[in-house]
Amino acid sequence: MNIIGLDEVVFGVEDVSGCARYLEDYGLLPVGVSAAGGRFEALDGTAVRIARSEDPALPAPLETGCMLRKTILGVADAATLEQIAQELGKDREVRRLDDGSLESVDDMGFVLGFRVTVRRAHGQAPERVNAPGAPAQRGPNTLGVDLQAPRIIARTLSHIVYFVPDCARATAFYTERLGFRVTDAFEGMGPFIQPAGTQDHHTHFLIQAPAHMQGVEHFTFHFGGPTEVLQNGSRFVEKGYQAFWGPGRHVLGSNWFWYFNSPLACHMEMDADMDLHDEGWTPRRWPISADNSQAFLLGYRKKWLPGPDCPPNGDYQ
């Protein structure tokens, strides 16, 4: 099935204005936002949508109270939608909504939507790196850092991480029913999975957890490169938001990361530069450990300027 990836995640929230401010400051563009909620888009049109938790248009929440109400997957074409409708219709309800999308549930009870993807070209250049001995990617007089640049906007919705009570069953649903592939896995924790329509290392990560924890650990958008993650994350911290983990770089997937607490009752990550894999890739299965989770982990601190007043022993704390 030609499922491309995440198109939109939908949350029911109590504090619409606080969530809206957070999502804008994170690096998303508000579209049709009012006191009742609205969409917050990346440059390619993928988005987070929020609505008041009591909005009757929202699907019912999980019994755990998770704020995520729906995960919408973008597909390549109408033929893929029909494939999905036929497959899932074998053993569960598949609703056809007025906007042409489908709605159903996975085997863990997460509400899923499927639609022809809204992704669009955005024309923004990627981060370019000059490496000694290789042709220059960023030519003479082209700057790698611009402090006067406008605010940094996320490029596309990247991936989501579910806590699930039965990881084997959840994995089987996505791989056997929707054509996902396992790219890598942490032993005793769960797999990273990728739909057929993308080469991104993963769009979902499934983590085995007690039933009372079922929900979302985090979700994230791709940014244009590590400089955008570090610069945008620094600005985010300076606005008063609390970092949870990072900045650093993962091993499985290789993506740069920086996680933050959010008012959506889950973490939000900023990420960049993820590995790509196709059918020729052999999945790794690694024991879970801090070393296997990240290649390195950095600590944020406020800016400082070296000079004659710095301590002679190099202790700049």
- CB-CB contact of 270 with 249 (8 Å): no
- CB-CB contact of 67 with 59 (8 Å): no
**Whole-number pLDDT of residue 66:** 96
**Whole-number pLDDT of residue 171:** 98
Q: What angle do CA 246, 292, 286 make, to 5 degrees?
A: 145
**Whole-number pLDDT of residue 181:** 98
Per the listing, tokens 């990627």 go with 126
Query: How far apart, in Å, are the Cα atoms of 19 and each of 150, 168, 241?
Result: 22, 33, 12
- CB-CB contact of 299 with 282 (8 Å): no
**Whole-number pLDDT of residue 312:** 56
**Structural domains in the chain plus CATH codes:** 3-117+154-297 (3.10.180.10)
Rounded CA separation 214/255 (Å): 25
> Could you tell me whether strands 204-208 and 256-261 are parallel, antiparallel, or unpaired per DSSP bridges?
unpaired
Q: Which residues in the chain come in under a pLDDT of 50?
A: none
pLDDT, tens digit, for every residue of 172-211?
A: 999 999 999 999 999 999 999 999 999 999 999 999 999 9
Per the listing, tokens 């983590």 go with 207
Beta strands in 67-155 (DSSP E): 68-75, 95-96, 102-105, 111-116
Q: For the chain, how far is it from start to end, CA to CA, in angstroms? A: 54
Rounded CA separation 96/247 (Å): 42
**Whole-number pLDDT of residue 236:** 97
Give residue 259's identity as a one-letter amino acid code.
Y
- CB-CB contact of 102 with 115 (8 Å): yes
